[in-house]
Structure 1
Amino acid sequence: MGSISPAMNGNEEVDLVVIGGGPTGLLSAVLARHMGLSVAIIDEKSGPLKLGRADALNARTQQYLEVVGILDELRSKGIECNTSSTFAEGEFKSRQSKWWTSLEHCLHRNFLMIGQPDVEAALLKKLDTPVSYGEQAISISEDEESAVITTNRGRTLRGKYAIGADGARSMVRAALDITFTGTKPEMVWSVLDTFIDTDFPVCSEIVTFQLNGQSRVSWIPRERGMARFYVLLDGEITQDKAENSIREHLAPHRVTFLKTEWFSTFEVKERIASTFVSKRGTGRVVLAGDAAHVHSVNGGQGLNTGIADAFGLGWRIALAVRHAKLSPQGASQLVQSYDTERRAVAGDVIGVAAKLVRDTIRTAKEYVGTIEKNAGYITGMGVAYDGTGSALISESEVGIWKAGKRCPDFSLLGSESGEPQRLYSIVPYGQFLILSIGSRQDHCQPREELPTTHLTILPSVAGGVQSATGGTSSTYEADIVTSAEPFKVVVRPDMYIGYVGNEAGVNEYMDSILSLS
């Protein structure tokens, strides 16, 4: 692994400086360390988050965190939820879950309800570099080779790249004069993490409550038997007003509030940075998470979109820093492709959340209908990069395999243990996967080596499975594979498909990454 190097002038030099210690910043640091980069992390908070903030991991985020290696720990603490209910006039009016249960090629067809403090704690356990809490960036500049950050402790950090994951009021974004534009609906929500005593039929469902034709209260089941309520109020916002509104919406059932761990308010804003990479896409500072985009909490998009930012950015920065054959211009374009892909997605996410928040003043049926229409973003499984113009997507398609779409997860037979394994449980982050689908094809040898793992996936054969081999090449069987014409698939390290086709096309795609210009 890389290490922090004090320069002759007393500055600290690292591969990556991460500004912000929330989930986006922490995951960025974990991935960078996994790929051998030296990292410095600063966060202006006094210490790790203890209460509140985000509350749900969607299906795609769970796939990411399985690759990272922390999902099992979080699942042991959280609550699975894949059903949305509507309640009005003293009874349940509907229950819907098909946008989860109809998902294909994924294991976890649900939200995992768990608090952001638990997510951050799991990432901190995975991180072998300390977070410098109580330290704030006060200035940032860059040249053609590095970004330079000075802090309130008198430190100067020089990194080959820097990630600004310092939230919606990002100092990094402001210092670089990156505009942050959008809309601001006149809505202020209150949120409570609370323990209650009630005769309401408690269930592991997201319940939207309708009163007087509007849907201003939602109940989210949480870990430890806790309940989270989102309450839209008019006028002065107080905890008493929020609790009274909850009582009104749950009537005729009684509710007693036993202990409230966290009460807060948030003003709905919908904004996106004009670029996610400094110097109009060519610089050394990259925005991620709320520093790059903010939106309503409706649909659980905030933390999930930030996690996806980090997962899509980490491998790019590692290649830009460490691959000797990548030219400076190629490294710049590699990082710029993050802006191309993730800013397009962020714009769509803002649109989805905007529809949801505006429909809270409509009936519960209309609100849930909006969820169903936008389920691809709410589950995370419909997020894709085809059509964005990304240099890292070679438009191509065979069956369910399409460049720009997420790589399917599926069971593999033929491991040394004899037990089925799923693809996402065995892939290493930072590696390109080259899948030979349908036959024992010779593995490609790109003219310039990239971190690559080869898998051969054959059709299942009744009565036995193919043997697996060790190292970076293995052979498996899978029901997902038919006996049709064989082909190859390149899966990027963020588990999105880059290319589908023949061996020559794989070589061309892999070589193109090192010859970006």
Structure 2
Amino acid sequence: MTHVLIVGSGPTGLTLAIELARRGVDLRIVERSAEPPTGVRGKGLQPRTLEVFDDLGVIDEILATGSGYPGIRSYKGEQIVWEGRMDEPKEPSPGVPYPNLTMQPQWRTERILRDRLAELGHRVEFGTEVTGFEQDGQGVTATLGGGETVRCAYLVGADGGRSTIRKRLGVGFAGETYESERMLLADVKTGDLDRDYWHLWGSMEEQVMYFGLCPLPNTDVFQLVAPYTGEDDLRALVTKHAPHVHLDEILWRSDYRANVRMAERFRVGRVFLAGDAAHVHSPAGGQGLNTGVQDAYNLGWKLAVGSAALIDTYEDERMAVAAHVLGLSTRLHRERDIERGDDTNQLDLAYLGSALSVGERGGERLGTLFDEQRGTHFLLLGATGREYGDAIRVLPPLDGQEGIILVRPDGYIGYHGDEGGLSAYLSGFGIDAPLTRASS
């Protein structure tokens, strides 16, 4: 019996698979597509996602092959009419080790995550579709495209905005599609532009964009983004506004309509929704991919522990965050705001109202001791003479700290209070036993 069957191998599904694999949890991850996607699609990794990728063991390659966002130049024909940035670069600090948005094509992010998963002994099963499933009190029985049946304790749908899992659950996907706001997205090559800037044609003052060409790090490719106005010929679109720019090659293209939707539930029994299967965003603010990674980071350690009370907190915690982030990305979309900062970096997100958050600082991101947090354990900060086992690493209290602080494996404070109440907290959520069968 497979403990967790993950459906979908985008950043959400891969993050969840790595989280489970490094805890020794038996899993399978299946993907309907026959091979990995090639288009860039999402390209912005927020500071909080970089902290997660540090913990998962992929941050070095993410940073080495990615880059910061370049400055922006706006043109009228060949004339530069405006220069600026989405955000001013910041220096790392003890509380924010990765302060800047990192540009990384999604196909490469996924490749790096797949390589990490392979190091942990698991591979994506491409060309494998879940055609149906049934669940009972003990588990889920899923049917795959070839007729194989898989029995698992839990099934997670991370299969995108058109999620088959969500549809088969009968979960509503409330929100709206902006039918009149179609966008073109393409990966192109041109030798007529430098790669030091993100080049835009339009009017920043009037918030009008004809098209933009963004150089992608460690490639010879630009990502082209343009409002869709009925013009299917990308070369003609570029020539109309920038006659001096010739597209040498169009590698991939797609058009999409901005969607803002959220599932009415993130869980039905033993089946969970995560990433775009649970919420889809406009591209403004670069929130979609990053929110999906956080879903997986929240759910993985809870499924590994397996207690009902702990697993129950996933839907409550992540639905509240998804609703907040959807509101943010929708506002940025409507205002056509390209600036980025504290409201988009996801560092301020918290689980303040969760049943899992107890005490004055319960639910806050710890925001320090990142080296000590790396791994599958809890951190206990405080003076104690008790033994808590290998699953909880004990460290001295922070300067000025009162009481005991217990930090969850995903970096948020679970308990803050007297040590006398900690045992009841741990046993109440079934986390008083070792959390990991294998550490990496």
Q: TM-score, normalised by structure 2?
A: 0.88
Deviation at 1:210, TM superposition (A): 2.2
Q: Identify which range, 259-268 or 84-93, moves more after superposition.
A: 84-93
Q: Identify the structure with bigger relative contact order (alpha carbons < 8 Å, sequence gap 6+).
A: 2
Alignment CA distance shift 1:136-1:376 (3 Å): same
Could you say which residue in structure 2 is the equivalent of 1:451?
391
Decide which structure has the larger Cα Rg and report it. Answer: 1
Per-residue deviation, residues 170-201 of structure 1 (Å, max 9, x unmatched)? 1111111111110112211111222323356x
Could you say which residue in structure 2 is the equivalent of 1:240?
235
Identity %: 28
1:356 to 329, 332, 336: 332
Alignment CA distance shift 1:312-1:177 (3 Å): same
Distance 1:43 1:125 in 2: 16
Could you say which residue in structure 2 is the equivalent of 1:475?
none
Matches within 5 A, 1:36-75: 36-75=24-63
Could you say which residue in structure 1 is the equivalent of 2:344?
378
Per-residue deviation, residues 359-403 of structure 1 (Å, max 9, x unmatched)? 23xxxxxx24xx45xx344212122221xx31111141xxxxx32
Per-residue deviation, residues 64-96 of structure 1 (Å, max 9, x unmatched)? 000000110121111122x76463653225445
Could you say which residue in structure 1 is the equivalent of 2:416?
500
Deviation at 1:285, TM superposition (A): 0.5
Distance 2:249 2:406 in 1: 51
1:488 to 404, 422, 426: 404
Distance 2:424 2:201 in 1: 51
Alignment CA distance shift 1:98-1:262 (3 Å): same
Could you say which residue in structure 1 is the equivalent of 2:260?
270
Distance 1:235 1:258 in 2: 22
Matches within 5 A, 1:95-494: 95=85, 97-98=87-88, 105-127=95-117, 128-185=121-178, 186-198=180-192, 202-203=195-196, 209-210=202-203, 213-216=206-209, 217-223=211-217, 224-240=219-235, 242-244=237-239, 248=241, 254-278=244-268, 283-320=269-306, 331-360=307-336, 367-368=337-338, 371=339, 375-386=341-352, 389-396=353-360, 402-409=361-368, 423-436=369-382, 441-445=383-387, 451-456=391-396, 481-482=398-399, 484=400, 486-494=402-410
Could you say which residue in structure 1 is the equivalent of 2:435?
none
Distance 1:453 1:215 in 2: 53
Query: Secondary structure of the equivalent of 1:197?
Result: coil
Alignment CA distance shift 1:56-1:208 (3 Å): farther
Query: Secondary structure of the equivalent of 1:229?
Result: strand
Please say if residues 71 and 83 of structure 2, whose CA atoms lie closer than 8 Å, have aligned partners that are also in contact: no
Distance 1:84 1:352 in 2: 23
Query: Secondary structure of the equivalent of 2:312?
Result: helix
Structure 2: any 5+ residue segments left out of the alignment?
A: 433-440
2:74 to 84, 87, 99: 87
Please say if residues 74 and 199 of structure 2, whose CA atoms lie closer than 8 Å, have aligned partners that are also in contact: no
Per-residue deviation, residues 422-453 of structure 1 (Å, max 9, x unmatched)? x32343443111123xxxx225446xx68212
Please say if residues 434 and 453 of structure 1, whose CA atoms lie closer than 8 Å, have aligned partners that are also in contact: yes
Distance 1:270 1:52 in 2: 21
Distance 1:99 1:238 in 2: 36
Please say if residues 238 and 246 of structure 2, whose CA atoms lie closer than 8 Å, have aligned partners that are also in contact: no
Could you say which residue in structure 1 is the equivalent of 2:437?
none
Alignment CA distance shift 1:132-1:172 (3 Å): same
Please say if residues 73 and 197 of structure 2, whose CA atoms lie closer than 8 Å, have aligned partners that are also in contact: no
Distance 2:148 2:343 in 1: 40
- Structure 1 counterpart of 2:278, which letter? A
Deviation at 1:353, TM superposition (A): 1.6
Deviation at 1:405, TM superposition (A): 2.0
Please say if residues 435 and 456 of structure 1, whose CA atoms lie closer than 8 Å, have aligned partners that are also in contact: yes
Please say if residues 198 and 212 of structure 2, whose CA atoms lie closer than 8 Å, have aligned partners that are also in contact: no
Distance 1:352 1:145 in 2: 39
Question: How many residues of Structure 1 are paired with residues of Structure 2 in the alignment?
Answer: 423
Please say if residues 58 and 110 of structure 1, whose CA atoms lie closer than 8 Å, have aligned partners that are also in contact: yes
Please say if residues 379 and 407 of structure 2, whose CA atoms lie closer than 8 Å, have aligned partners that are also in contact: yes
